[in-house]
């Protein structure tokens, strides 16, 4: 028997948009639970750039991805949301108006009135290095995501890739690693120009080595990855072997919608189509906010997702009480809202 949980709203995804949705629903007196495939809340902010600065959050000059998530968690704490982590949504069944049954991979069954998909661009899978048997080092010497930069103190580190993640980590590790080598496959870098220029300047100073080439082989010593051999992008296509302690690979991420593709929602280019005034999908009672949705003029920004979460909360409240006029509630002047926030 599955565990059965009843709630007003079920939010799928615990990135910044899903978390802010909790706040907006809470202002409307709507309780919610959240489900996420990741082991902790935060979505891409925690998984991909916990230490990377974010500059376009209103009234916050600069914060890291991790700091943003922590502030959002503090903000929603008055509403006591319940998190169900490390599990995926296997099925969504609509039984009637405001009547959904949602089951997860861990056997939890939710009976809810609405479902809100805030799953970013879906689940992300890192594009892996294509060398036979090198995956045996994954999670140890071979990493696709960095959680603790201090583990590279005094280490010989090779970074593969030419995008923002690769070069941002190069800038972060240049003063930590004993030797740092960045290898991109082509002369074209996908990072912002300013970052590319900084990395190139560090290479010119001899503080790191910046190479163009592709990994072709590796060497092992009793289960330890010791070096990579590259075919260089030069006229002779020369081979070069570089010794290492750690290998960081940032070839990008492949987004996948996963089970969402089977829910009967109208999709457009791997994104969910919505009604722009309510953010309701083609299935009434299921809403989509953040990077997962698409509409004319869509901008994939955290700021835009916050706006969508606010409008979605009002739309859901109106659908619950269709005969009642739903007024805008101001956190500065509405007593009932201030009471919910514990500030009255």
CA 214 to chain centre: 28
pLDDT in tens, 17-48: 999 999 999 999 999 999 998 889 998 888 77
Which pair of structure tokens corresponds to residue 105? 């991979």
Average pLDDT over residues 179-188: 95
Average pLDDT over residues 87-110: 93
Class of domain 3-124+254-340: alpha beta
Identify the pLDDT of residue 122: 62
Identify the pLDDT of residue 136: 95
Identify the pLDDT of residue 133: 95
- Give Rg (Cα) of the chain: 23
Per-chain mean pLDDT for the chain: 92
pLDDT in tens, 50-98: 877 899 999 999 999 999 999 999 999 999 999 999 888 989 999 999 9
pLDDT tier, 337 (very low <50, low <70, confident <90, very high otherwise):
confident
**Cα 117 to Cα 128: distance, rounded to the nearest angstrom:** 28
pLDDT tier, 2 (very low <50, low <70, confident <90, very high otherwise):
low
Half-sphere exposure in the Cβ direction for 1 (13 Å, CA)? 3
Identify the pLDDT of residue 344: 55
Domain at 128-251: CATH code: 3.50.50.60
Identify the pLDDT of residue 106: 92
Identify the CA nearest to 88 among candidates 13, 122, 37: 37
Any long-range contacts for 300-303 (C-beta under 8 Å, 24+ apart)?
A: 301/56, 302/16, 302/17, 302/54, 302/56, 302/57, 302/68, 303/56, 303/57, 303/58
Burial class (CB in 10 A: 0-12, 13-18, 19+), 126: middle
Lowest mean pLDDT among 256-260, 320-324, 326-330: 256-260
CA 128 to chain centre: 18
- CB–CB of 227/242 below 8 Å? yes
Average pLDDT over residues 243-261: 84
Q: How many residues does the chain have?
A: 344
Lowest mean pLDDT among 51-60, 103-112, 114-123: 114-123
Q: Where are the domains of the chain?
A: 3-124+254-340, 128-251
pLDDT in tens, 135-179: 999 999 999 988 889 999 999 999 999 998 899 999 999 999 999
Average pLDDT over residues 195-199: 95
Q: Phi and psi of 284, rounded to 5°?
A: -55, 135
Lowest mean pLDDT among 45-59, 107-121, 241-255, 300-314: 45-59
Question: Do the domains at 3-124+254-340 and 128-251 have one common CATH topology?
Answer: yes
Identify the pLDDT of residue 77: 96
Q: Is the pLDDT of residue 123 over 70?
A: no
- CB–CB of 190/166 below 8 Å? no
Identify the pLDDT of residue 237: 86
Write the DSSP string, 22-78. HHHHHHTT--EEEE-SSSSTTTHHHHT-TTSEE--BTTBS-EEHHHHHHHHHHHHGG
- CB–CB of 84/33 below 8 Å? yes
- CB–CB of 168/146 below 8 Å? no
**Cα 240 to Cα 253: distance, rounded to the nearest angstrom:** 27
């Amino acid at each position: 028997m599955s565990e059965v949980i009843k709630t007003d709203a079920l939010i799928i995804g615990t990135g910044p948009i899903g978390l802010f949705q909790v706040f907006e629903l809470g202002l409307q007196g709507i309780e919610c639970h959240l489900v996420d495939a990741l082991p902790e809340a935060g979505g891409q902010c925690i998984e991909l750039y916990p230490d990377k600065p974010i500059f376009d959050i209103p009234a916050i000059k600069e914060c890291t991805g991790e700091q943003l998530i922590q502030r959002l968690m503090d903000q929603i704490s008055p509403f006591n949301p319940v998190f169900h982590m490390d599990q995926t949504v296997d099925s969504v069944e609509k039984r009637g108006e405001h009547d959904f049954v949602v089951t997860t991979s861990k056997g939890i069954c939710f009976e809810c009135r609405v479902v809100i998909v805030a799953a970013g661009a879906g689940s992300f899978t890192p594009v892996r290095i294509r060398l036979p048997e090198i995956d045996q080092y994954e999670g140890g010497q071979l990493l696709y995501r960095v959680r603790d930069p201090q583990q590279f103190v005094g280490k010989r580190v090779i970074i593969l890739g030419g995008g923002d993640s690769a070069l941002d980590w190069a800038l972060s590790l240049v003063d930590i690693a004993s030797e740092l080598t960045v290898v991109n496959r082509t002369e074209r870098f996908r990072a912002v120009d300013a970052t590319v220029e900084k990395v190139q300047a560090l290479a010119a100073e001899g503080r790191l080595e910046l190479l163009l080439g592709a990994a072709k082989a590796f060497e092992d010593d009793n289960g330890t990855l010791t070096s990579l051999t590259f075919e260089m992008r030069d006229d002779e296509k020369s081979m070069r072997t570089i010794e290492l302690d750690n290998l960081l690979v940032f070839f990008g991420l492949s987004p996948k919608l996963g089970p969402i593709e089977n829910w009967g929602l109208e999709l457009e280019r791997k994104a969910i189509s919505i009604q722009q005034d309510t953010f309701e999908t083609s299935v009434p009672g299921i809403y989509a906010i953040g990077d997962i949705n698409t509409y004319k003029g869509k901008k994939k920004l955290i700021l835009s997702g916050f706006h969508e979460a606010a409008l979605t909360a009002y739309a859901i409240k109106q659908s619950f009480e269709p005969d009642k006029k739903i007024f805008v509630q101001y956190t500065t002047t509405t007593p009932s809202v201030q009471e919910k926030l514990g500030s009255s």
